Amino acid sequence: MTETTGTPILEAPVAEGAHDQHMVLNMGPQHPATHGVLRLVLEVDGEIVVRLYPEIGYLHTGIEKTCEAKFYQQVVPLTDRVNYLDPMSNNLCYALAVEKLLGLEIPDKGQWLRVLLAELSRLNSHLIWLGTHAMDIGALTVFLYTFREREEILRLFEALAGQRMMTSYIRIGGVSMDPPLDFLHRVQQFIRTLPEKIDEYSNLLTGNPIFRNRLMDVGHLSAADTIALGVTGPPLRASGVDVDLRRDMPYSSYEKFQFAVPISNGCDCWARYEVRLIEMRESIKIIQQALDGMPEGSYSAVAPKIILPDREKMKTQMEALIHHFKIVTEGFAVPAGEVYQGIEAGHGQTGYYVVSDGTAKPYRVHMRYPSFATLQALETMCKGRMLADVVAVIGSIDIVLGEIDR
Amino acid sequence: MSEPLKNKDLLGQVLLGKEAVLAGLPEHPAVKAILAWNPEALVDAKFQFAELTLTIAASHLRAAAESVQAAGYNFMEDMTAVDWFPSSPRFQLSYHILSHSLKERIRLVAMVDGSQPSIESITPVWPSANYYEREVFDLFGISFEGHPNLRRIMMPEEWTGHPLRKDYPVEGYR
């Protein structure tokens, strides 16, 4: 049984005048420190938070309903838009789930490219987290530095997929095309300089007394509470729980890569900061291994009825043209069944639950995104603490409202 | 704790139906836990795509969750519903439970009827089910008995209808 210590079960929202000596304060949905459109209703006693109630749904687009009306391959661009800071992980998770239903085997090159891109995407996500988190605390400089490196990742994505943020590069059956000739070289150049850049951020923040005081012993969350409240990813590992799906339930040939999983027993915002910084360094190691061992061969599976043919072939070969026409107009049928695929994305465990009824459109697509569950732990972390700590805690759990509301 | 299950070894294996799963995976910790608790409550079972699905009678779901939790499946990863309109029973509730120690995931399924659908809340077992159950309540209209705050979470409070139901048009009512 899970032992929980003071875990709240989020009750009805705070009502005005419920306790006369307390003040009800509204934070968001347009507050810059809420990273999007999160609204918090806070009951405060002076500067102490007594209760906290998150109101979500301002960004709800019904993306799961939209998926049911699209062909399987048309869902890929929708997945980009859920967590717009970590696009490759979304694509990857959905593609892995559908491939499981179809029983497709992806060649090594496709797998290696996917690992490389998922890690670049994680770096992208962590760089934005670090910049915005530091900015919330008042250290504006770091934001400018991290966005400089993030810009380079976006340029790499643009060279690869033609799109900076909504890449849709990882497709069902592999990836959409061969990377450009100098792409791997550019990635190599980028990760060669990145460790120094991370040292630079660390120099600005780790020894900074304001930053330390704002994060240390703030937002305490015990290991039992993280599990009870469904917290995953870096906040889970910062509470001393040693779980990383890349290592524990490997997908996309992660078992062939060597990397360490950083753990901390700090349980506070500072521990989350440290864990993510080490994770960025480990991501660089994974990317280096992927570059060094990048296999030759095809980047996608052999399945002409599922994967769009090469542009060249489509224009010269009759059969390829027919397949192209069929996939675009009718989609492809996926055997009936239900699968759940979980991966370790930048924010935590992402999961896609895909139910097929044997037609060309998914019967149901459910997306499990880490921020949705992590948000439930916010009250536990903020209760009884100062109002200003709420901003530090929101930054430390790294939420994206797009994936909370979907 | 028993050895981590090597689901990879069973990747191509398909076991459909309760008897086939009980015969094929007698040593599986989740199957053992459910059998030790109440074999009658296990309605159906399936092992496909290296994923184990255990269908539990809806009235016993919370107790089943407690028994798999005691067997080491400590983390509720995801919970959602599927609308099988117009067939009956209409709603399928799927709970994905992860075990940090066994490094393995199972799916608990419960079927509920279409008219006034309702099931016991599992928030006493996993408080993390709170938001998930609210989401299913909001988008499917299934109510959860014993939930501490069963209110709409995505849609506005005054919204009529439940958008993820199959009889709700994709473009909404106009």
Closest-CA residue of chain A to B6: A249
In this predicted structure, the answer to whether residue B1 has a pLDDT above a threshold of 50 is: no
d(CA A374, CA A184): 35
User: CB-CB: which of B69, B128, B155 is closest to A373?
Assistant: B128
d(CA B37, CA B66): 10
Say whether B131 and A2 touch across the interface (CB within 8 A): no
In sequence order, which residues have a C-beta less than 8 Å from that of residue A50 and are 6 or more positions away? A19, A22, A43, A44, A383, A384
Could you name the CATH architecture of A63-405? Orthogonal Bundle (1.10)
Question: How is chain A split among helix, strand and coil, in percent rounded to 5?
Answer: 50, 10, 40
CA B152 to chain centre: 20
Contacts of A361 in chain B (CB under 8 A): none
**CA of A364 to nearest chain B CA: how many angstroms apart?**
7
**A6 torsion bin: left (phi>0), alpha (psi -120 to 50), beta (else):** left
The H or E element that residue A353 is part of is strand A349-356
pTM (2 d.p.) = 0.90
CB B155 within 8 A of CB B138: yes
Contacts of B62 in chain A (CB under 8 A): none
DSSP-derived 3-state class of residue A365: strand
Say whether A373 and B53 touch across the interface (CB within 8 A): no
Provide the pLDDT confidence category of residue B173 given band limits of 50, 70 and 90: confident
Tell me how long chain B is.
Answer: 174
Q: Which domains does chain B have, with CATH numbers?
A: 7-123 (3.30.460.80)
Closest CA to A323 of A179, A178, A173: A173
Token code pair at residue A119: 């890690």
Q: pLDDT of chain A along its 406 residues, tens only?
A: 334 444 444 555 666 555 567 788 888 787 776 777 888 888 888 888 888 888 888 888 889 999 999 999 999 999 988 888 888 999 999 999 999 998 888 899 999 999 999 999 999 999 999 999 998 888 888 999 999 999 999 999 999 988 888 888 999 988 888 889 899 999 999 999 999 999 999 988 998 899 999 898 888 888 988 999 989 999 999 998 999 999 888 888 898 999 999 999 888 999 999 999 999 999 999 999 999 988 888 888 888 888 888 888 888 999 999 999 999 999 899 998 999 999 999 889 999 999 999 899 999 999 999 999 999 888 888 888 888 889 889 989 888 888 888 8
Eight-state DSSP code of residue A277: H
**CA of B124 to nearest chain A CA: how many angstroms apart?**
9
CB A372 within 8 A of CB A404: yes
**CA of A76 to nearest chain B CA: how many angstroms apart?**
18
Provide the pLDDT confidence category of residue B115 given band limits of 50, 70 and 90: confident
Provide the pLDDT confidence category of residue B87 given band limits of 50, 70 and 90: confident
Average pLDDT of span B140-161: 88
The pairing of strands B104-112 and B51-56 is: parallel
- Laid out side by side, the sheet with A337-344 consists of A337-344, A349-356, A364-368
End-to-end C-alpha distance for chain B, whole angstroms: 56
